Each structure stands twice: as structure tokens, then as C-alpha cells.
Structure 1
């Protein structure tokens, strides 16, 4: 505990006071590293090391296009963090539960776990009790940050941790649990109370990351669940009126939680002056809901021919049977499908979202991920 406490003090105080040698960046961006936390949208293989009572993507046809083999990503190819790594000229992040080296800890680590939620109880309700929780992901990062400081020294650690890009996406599993598991909804109380607890826990995790060096953070909002193949399938099983009401209710909850996350980003950014509590912290909000809604309404504009069905799956909307199930099939034109499975995107879908969020669009606030990458942190000379 003493070691951790000293680390927190060093990272908070030295951000303002230490001047260190700059570093060469092949990409031209002052980004020496990145760290990823989230659910299946970002999982790069951590569930391969958990193995039981979590969603798995370690079998064919997962990974069939870019990697030519399954590797734990819930897609046919690359995910958002992989695409960012290409631009930053950094390696693909190692799963945090693998046998990571100190060099990897100081470069690129992915803590995400399919089935993870903001609240651990949500994962339990959805049948993924062993998913690596948001709290566990942040706790492991805190330990890695300590390792980086003691391996490289405070000066170099500031370059690594302060200039890293932190990518966060969680909340989908929480809302799925609330709207598909009545017993769970009854235990967590009214929707407004539940959403407030999710937002409060999310903020608590961001605060912990900040205390351990995070300064450049991308917060991904939650997509429109009713427009995913799984959402369409679940609502199709209900009587028409009930299905329509369910879609409206769950997407309303998504928008409410997204609003709370967006407001959190605004509040923290407004408190990032050099003499304020969150000095030098800069966050970007990626509006996944708005982006995916626009894509589903205007598929040809984005180069898609199918935005309703899972490319890999079976039954109604390709979401009745899981990708890889004996009754599942794989679509012929993966690049023309937005969704790979019941919830996650194809590499083509991830590329479209990446272009909207990285290059800049109306779906990313207050500015693009590219601009976030270019920001210089006060106290760290370049």
C-alpha cells in the first residue's frame, strides 16, 4: 500500500513539475503507448485465459479475415484499438492476462474482457461471472503502472503513462442485464437509480486511472442495442406492441446513460486547468449510438448492404444461434456487413467507426481522437 501511495503522489505532483528528455515517435504523434479497458468491443484475447463462464471467441470462424485464425477478438478481424495502433505505429496490445513483459506494460496493454460490465453483478446476471470486471481491469492497470515507474523511473514513466491513449467502453452488458433479466432489475431498483449508480462507478474508475497517470482518455458511448442483431432478435420474440416498447425503453436507457457519460466528459474537461483538481486531463466522448444509428439509416453511404443481420450466426437476424454454433453460417461478403455476430462489428464496421472518431465528425466531442493524440501534456517537454 505504501508503494502504491507513493506512486500516486509522484504521478499527480510530477505531472506539473518534472522536465524530461523527449522521445522519438515514428508516427509523429506524442503517443508512446495505449491502454484498453472494456467488454467484447475491445477484448483482444483476455477471455482465452479465463476460459470458463465467459463468452469466448477462440474458435473458427472468428478472426477469419485479417488474422486468418481465431485469437479471442469478437470479430472477423481487427478491433478499434488495433486500428489505432497502426496509425500510432505501435504494436497490437497484449492481453493483460497473458504473460506480459515489462516492455509490454510500458507500451500497449489490453485489459478488456467480453462479458464485462460497469457493475460486476451485471456480468453475473448475464451468465459471465468470471468476466474481468471494470474494477479488476483498473486494479491490474494500477499494478502495471507501479511496475512501469519502478522499472523506468518517474521521468520516463511520465512520458509513458501521461502520453498514453486510454480507451474505455463498458455499459452494454449492464443495460442488457437490466432489460432481459427481471430478477436482476428488481434487485438494483428503479432505472434512474441504476443509471446513476453506473455513472458514479464509471467516474470512480476514471478518477483512479487519473491518479495513476491517465491524461488522454477516450470514453466510448453505448450503441443502440435495439439495432443490433441480438436486439432485433429479442424484440422479435415478443408480441409486436411489447417488442416495440422494449426497443424504445432500452434505447432510451442507452441514451440516458450516454448523456451521463458525455456530461462526465464535459465536467472533467472543464476541471482540467493547471490549478484545478484534474490538471491536464483531457477526455473525448465517442458517440457510438449516433454513429451506428446513422450507419443503419444510411447503409449505402458507408458501403454496407446488410446492417441488420449478423454475418456469423444462425436463425433470425443471425442472432438466434451463436457464431460457430452447428446451426450458424458465415456471410459471403463480410466487408458489406456491419455486424459480425449478435452484438459486435465486423472489421469493416470497426473501420467505419474508427474513421468517424479518429478523423473527426459530429459523432466525437469535443474534438477528434486524432487531436487528442496530438495533445501535449503540460510538464512533459517534447
Structure 2
């Protein structure tokens, strides 16, 4: 394991220090796509993931599109809260007292169409939450025996509502639209997002934590599909158009969050700049102990991308007349990218450490939650 990851691990073990103001959200409710899906799509579609998914932390596929923990898992750790169970995963005695995860891989903000891989768009996720809340309160009214498993009534108002969604709206649009058309679609996407947030606010949600979207053009999947012409790549080897769309989306998302900070009376709306964190990681990967910023750890084809859209990580298929298996690299801690689309646990650890400094948030939240003090060397 790299020195950087050892430092992060030691920090999490030895320095769980906090500021005087406690971060005391009793529960977390998460909405999003595969960046924070802890098993929703797999459970909802009756599907499965194959090894080596989950190999680093869970030692088996856990419904997460990662070799280990996701960013949401690491943030829950930092809050001293348990991992969030997926809303639709009914087996394994799920406990929802500290929150629930509605995020589903491949989900978009806009309503799903017949061709989408996930039917669980943002509006559906919000509707699932509203049903979850009604059902939980109904059960709690029937007796104290349910209090061990479900959020209490005031948890819904005092809880933290986290959002990491929008990436698929942009990335998917590039398969059929020009850059100008993608940019023109962003206001409609954010109108839908605002509608969902207002539904939650009207139901008592007050603490909103909104992640912007990352540098889409730096994902091996998009480089393989849209970066065959070197003129379409930037100095980091990322697809320029995709990152331009992500930046434009983030500017408007930031403006929306500022608007809601004013219009949602009594609420806290925090905008988190994931794009800057991930872009810095990709641009300066060696400084943080990584060796591969874009190449997928788990895939086929070898450098420079090790990615083939015809075969997913862990699968075996006949490609071009030969049977091949998409296997994992020897050491995933050397890689930022896990399977061409998602980040490794090692990269997620870096991103979470930066989020927890508070400096990538508007307004800053470092005075409201415990976070790990940086080691100086």
C-alpha cells in the first residue's frame, strides 16, 4: 500500500479529532448514482456483481461499483455513523435507524426512458424516500419495538440529506448530442433537481449537502469512446468537451445552491466541489502516491486505458474470437480508476480527506463536523 494511503489510514485511527461544535446529525439520507450506490440497483433489478468487485474491503461484491468503500462509506465513517443500507435491499437484516440510501447506479436526474439502464431517476428516489418516511412513522406509531431499526420522527428534520447525481445526464447525452446541445439541456436537468429538493424541503428536510459532478472527460470509458482524436483531449489526456460540460453544469448547480440557501427558510444548503478535488488528483496523481490517473485497474486491453465497453469488470466473454476475462490489476491502490467508470477505494479515500477539510465547500462546514487533522511532513 502506498505511503499516502498509509498516512490516511493512520490519520483515521490515531487522529479522530473534532472541532468544539459537534457534528450531530442523527441520520443521513443519500440520493445519487453509482458514485454512492451501496446496493440499490443490484437489489432493485435482481442482478449481481462479480468478483473482483469488493475485493479490498468487503472481500466480496457488496453491490458497490468499486473494489472497496465508496466516498459515501468513508464520509459515514468520518461522521461516526454506520454504512447506509440500500432502500431496496431487504435481506441481511438492514437497519435504517441512522439513515437510508436511495442512490442507484446508472440513475439520472431527468426521468428515466425505456433505454436507460436504471429506472430509479432522482424523482423516483425522492418518491421512495417519501414512502419510506410515511411507512417508518406508521410503524413507529405502532410500538417501541421498531425504534431500534427505523429513524425517529425528528431524525427526518435533523438528518443530513446528501446528493451526488447528474453525471449520467451529461455523459449519456454525448452519445446522441453535440456539446452545444448538452449545454443547452443543463437548465432543464437542474429544474428537475430543484423540484426534487423542494419536495424534500416541503416534507421537513433542512440540511442539504450537494456534490457537484466530477471531471467526466477523465474517465477511461469516455476517453475510449470520445477521445480517439488527440485534438479532442486536453493536456491531461481527458476529453475536453465532457469536462467543459461538467464545469458548465457545476456553475449552474452552484448558483442553484446559492439560490436555495436564501429561498429554503431555516435550511442549510452546502455545495461541495468534487470536480476540483478529482481534477487535482488526476493532475497531480504521483504526488498522492498513485501511478495511474486514467487507466482502469479492472478491465482488458492493457495500457493506455485497459478498458473495453463490451466487457465489464469480472466478466468473461468471447471477444474477437478469443475468450477473455476482465481482471483486476495487482495493486488497486496505485490506480485512481477502478473499472473505467468508477474510482478505487484508494482514490475515494483521497477525495474524502479533501472534502473533510471543508475548504471545497460553500459555505464551509469545517466548524460543524469532526474531520481528520492533516499530517504535516
- TM-score w.r.t. the length of structure 2 is 0.79
Q: In 2, distance between residues paired with 1:371 and 1:103?
A: 32
Deviations 1:299-343 (A, max 9, x none): 122221111111111125122142113332211121121111111
Higher relative contact order (CA 8 A, sep 6+): 2
- Tell me if 1:30 matches 2:24: yes
- Residues 1:143 and 2:134 are matched in the alignment: no
Distance in 2, matches of 1:172 and 1:304, equals: 24
Q: In structure 2, how many angstroms separate the alpha carbons of the residues matched to 1:34 and 1:102? A: 18
Q: Which residue does the alignment assign to 1:5?
A: none
Kindly state the Cα deviation for residue 246 of structure 1 after the two structures are TM-superposed: 9.5
1:42 aligned partner: 36
Report the secondary structure of 1:318's partner residue: coil
Of residues 254, 267, 271, the one that matches 2:259 is 267
- 1:300 aligned onto 2:286: yes
Cα distance, 1:101 vs. partner? 11
CA pair 95-201 structure 1, distance change in 2 beyond 3 A: same
Alpha-carbon deviation of 1:46?
A: 1.1
Where does structure 2 lack aligned partners over 5 or more consecutive residues? 1-20, 142-150, 317-323, 371-377
- Is the Cα–Cα contact under 8 Å of residues 337 and 347 in structure 2 kept in the other structure? yes
Q: Quote the residue 2:207 is aligned against.
A: 216
Offset at residue 192 of structure 1 (A): 4.2
Between the aligned partners of 1:303 and 1:285, the Cα distance in structure 2 is 28
When residues 243 and 82 of structure 1 are mapped into structure 2, their CA distance, relative to the original with a 3 A threshold, is: closer
Structure 2 equivalent of residue 177 of structure 1: 172
- Counterpart among 260, 267, 276 of residue 281 in structure 1: 267
> 1:133 corresponds to which residue?
121
Q: How many residues align?
A: 327
Secondary structure in 1 matching 2:208: strand
Shift of 1:71: 1.1
Task: Report the Cα offset of residue 99 of structure 1.
Answer: 2.1
Other-structure match for 1:365: 362
Instruction: State yes or no: 1:257 paired with 2:249.
Output: yes
What RMSD, in angstroms, separates the aligned Cα atoms of the two structures?
2.8
User: How far off its partner does 1:346 sit?
Assistant: 0.8
Q: For residue 234 of structure 1, report the CA deviation from its aligned partner.
A: 1.6
Spell out, residue by residue over 1:186-217, the C-alpha distance to the aligned partner (whole angstroms, 9 max, x if none): 9xx94344111001011111111111222111
* Residue 165 (structure 1) aligns with: 160
Deviates more, 1:351-360 or 1:133-142: 351-360
Deviation at 1:102, TM superposition (A): 11
Could you say which residue in structure 1 is the equivalent of 2:320?
none
Partner of 1:247: 239
Aligned counterparts, 1:39-118, within 5 A: 39-51=33-45, 58-99=49-90, 104-118=95-109
Structure 2 residue aligned with 1:275: none
For residues 268 and 232 of structure 1, the distance between their equivalents in structure 2, rounded to whole angstroms, comes to 35
Residue number in structure 1 paired with 2:345: 347
Which 4+ runs in 1 deviate beyond 6 A?
Answer: 100-103
Quick one: distance in 2 between partners of 1:137 and 1:236? 33
Secondary structure of the structure 2 residue equivalent to 1:308: strand
Hey, what's the Cα distance between the residues in 1 that align with 2:28 and 2:93?
Answer: 14
Cα deviation, residue 97, structure 1: 0.6
Deviations 1:229-271 (A, max 9, x none): 112212343x333566992222211111111111111111133
Q: Is the 8 A contact 1:311 1:334 kept in 2?
A: yes
Taking the TM superposition and a 5 Å limit, the aligned residue runs for 1:299-338 are 299-315=285-301, 317-320=305-308, 321-326=311-316, 327=324, 328-338=326-336
Unaligned runs of 5+ in 1: 1-26, 272-277, 375-382
Which SS does the other structure have where 1:95 is aligned? Answer: coil
Note if contact 1:158-1:213 (Cα within 8 Å) is conserved in structure 2: no
TM-score normalised by the chain length of structure 1:
0.78
- Equivalent residue for 1:119, pick from 110, 114, 123: 110
Contact 1:310 1:319 (8 Å CA) reproduced: yes
Determine the C-alpha separation between the residues in 1 that align with 2:190 and 2:22: 35
